[in-house]
Amino acid sequence: MERVNTSLRTKLAVTAGRLAAATSRTLGRGEGMVVGGKVTLGLSPHALADLAGGRVAALVSATNGKTSTTRLLATAASQAGPVATQSTGANMTEGVLWALANGPADAPAILEVDEAYLPRVLAATRPKVVLLANLSRDQLDRMSEVAMLARKWRRMLAENPDVVVVANADDPIVAFAAEKAQQIIWVAAGQEWTADSSVCPECGTLLSRDGTDWSCSGCGRARPKTSWQFEWEKTGTAVGPDGQRYDLASLQLPGRFNASNATMALAVCAELGLDLAKAVTLMSTVTSVSGRFATVVAGSLRIRLLLAKNPAGWSELLDIMPPAPTPVIIIINSNDADGRDPSWLWDVPFERLKGRTVIASGNRRRDLAVRLLHAGVDAVVIEDPFAADAVLPAGTRELAVIDCAATYTAFQKLRDPSNEELAL
């Protein structure tokens, strides 16, 4: 009886949430998802658990790549029918709730979750599988430091022993977070950025590294044996536990990191009993993810949009930018959703952009300009590079498409100029 009441209450709360969201949209305040989610949760505190109702197939969390990985996985899983998933990168409690409330009813759900919100979302939604890909420094003014976050994940898995964990064994922090789970599928997914996992998160001893292998001489912890492998040589290959190889060359999302994301998604597909060859074919139809890697028109320029919000993400993106002397646009903001402190710019190897002119913009363009000055990279500081009368470096306007790497709020603004809440 209690359960029926709770469920009815949630239904009414969802209706109220939709109404609030529609009002917010009418007033031109964005997609209304956060407002709608807040209203629903206010009226029915257990709405998330009610809406999940045992149908959550997988949650995906990581510092980097969770939106892309979720899209790849949800697309692969659509082989078995409709899937409830986020259409945008909204990944805190409200965004997860909204995807469940407004996606196809009763369909299996594949959801991305902000790394700090994962423990409470996992406890409420009780997924079959959770994918844990990487942890590194990001928005340190909001998030816990990396090791602290890993301890929270570890506690979460101890408290929820039924969930199957698919985890990246090459990230020692993720391995520490995952290792106590009862059922773990380890994937050798690679780790480009090692600066946040130099010491053992358990005992503080410096980790020994040999290629992707790592171990701790202090407490004996070592990289777990993996059942899935990821190989990269210009294009990616995923190798399953039985030695079966899956060629990822047909992926349209660029870069090594997306092929690695696809490998982890494939390991989840295997746990969900999906056809893996079909999964690869479907993942190859994904061309851009919530604006990431999409070509859009911004004022007088056509740009390829890249989301670049922390050092680990940047070190991957620098590889896919066209070579010098092609100019690129970089927009650095420090609004709440970007992280208030952009001193992480000093952890990014911007020296690799030498030989070209960078167009520096965003509300922290002066921090970027000084960083580029020290890196020996030419820069022009322009408040609005998309204005018709902006003075851009020679050759910029002749480019068919120019790469534009932006932090979160600048990225969202370029994707959807009507989104006034997120000022450039």
Partner 1 sequence: MKERPIRIVSIYPTLLGTYGDGGNVAALSHIASLHGLAADILTISPGMVIPDDADIYVMGGGEDTAQVAAANALRASGALTRAVDKGASVLAICAGYQLLGHEFPDADGNAAPGLGLLDVFTDRLPKRAVGELAAEPIRAGLTSVTQMLTGYENHGGATHLGAGVTPLALVTSGVGNGDGTEGAITGRVIGTYLHGPCLVRNPLLAETLLGWAIGQHLDPIVEDAVEELRRERLGSATMSK
Residues forming contacts to partner 1 in the complex (CB under 8 A) are 137, 140-141, 145-148, 195-196, 198-201, 204-206, 340-341, 343-347, 366-367, 369-371, 373-374, 381
Q: How far is the CB of 347 from partner 1 (least distance, A)?
A: 6
Q: Do residues 365 and 383 touch, judged by C-beta distance below 8 A?
A: yes
What would the two tokens of residue 148 be? 């602290």
Query: 150: burial class by Cβ within 10 Å (0-12, 13-18, 19+)?
Result: buried
DSSP assignment of 64-123 equals: SSHHHHHHHHHHHHGGGS--B--SSS--SHHHHHHHHHHSSTT--EEEE--TTTHHHHHH
Q: How far is the CB of 195 from partner 1 (least distance, A)?
A: 7
The total number of residues shown for the chain amounts to 424
Q: Which CB sits closer to partner 1, 199 or 337?
A: 199
Q: Do residues 413 and 424 touch, judged by C-beta distance below 8 A?
A: yes
Give the ranges where 230-273 is alpha helix by DSSP (H). Answer: 255-271
CA–CA separation, 389 and 396 (whole Å): 13
Residue 83 C-alpha from the chain's centroid: 19
CA–CA separation, 182 and 248 (whole Å): 30
Q: Which CB sits closer to partner 1, 373 or 401?
A: 373
Q: How far is the CB of 156 from partner 1 (least distance, A)?
A: 19
Q: How far is the CB of 211 from partner 1 (least distance, A)?
A: 17
Q: Which CB sits closer to partner 1, 75 or 310?
A: 310
DSSP assignment of 211-231 equals: TTEEEETTT--BPPPPSEEEE
Q: Do residues 34 and 224 touch, judged by C-beta distance below 8 A?
A: no
Q: Which CB sits closer to partner 1, 198 or 244?
A: 198
What would the two tokens of residue 129 be? 């599988």
Q: Which CB sits closer to partner 1, 268 or 332?
A: 332
Q: Which CB sits closer to partner 1, 366 or 397?
A: 366
Residue that is written with structure tokens 């969201």 in the block: 21
Q: Which CB sits closer to partner 1, 149 or 178?
A: 149
Q: How far is the CB of 194 from partner 1 (least distance, A)?
A: 8
For residue 60, give the 3-state DSSP assignment: strand
Q: Which CB sits closer to partner 1, 222 or 381?
A: 381
Q: How far is the CB of 245 from partner 1 (least distance, A)?
A: 35
Q: How far is the CB of 331 from partner 1 (least distance, A)?
A: 16
Q: How far is the CB of 144 from partner 1 (least distance, A)?
A: 9
Q: Which CB sits closer to partner 1, 84 or 380?
A: 380
Nearest to 348 by CA among 180, 189, 147, 137: 137
Q: Which CB sits closer to partner 1, 67 or 197?
A: 197
Q: How far is the CB of 306 from partner 1 (least distance, A)?
A: 21
Q: How far is the CB of 207 from partner 1 (least distance, A)?
A: 10
Q: Which CB sits closer to partner 1, 302 or 340?
A: 340
Q: How far is the CB of 373 from partner 1 (least distance, A)?
A: 5
Tell me, what DSSP letter sits at residue 53? Answer: T
CA–CA separation, 227 and 313 (whole Å): 26
Residue that is written with structure tokens 């990985």 in the block: 69
Residue 120 C-alpha from the chain's centroid: 18
For residue 343, give the 3-state DSSP assignment: helix
Nearest to 286 by CA among 48, 17, 77: 77
For residue 298, give the 3-state DSSP assignment: strand
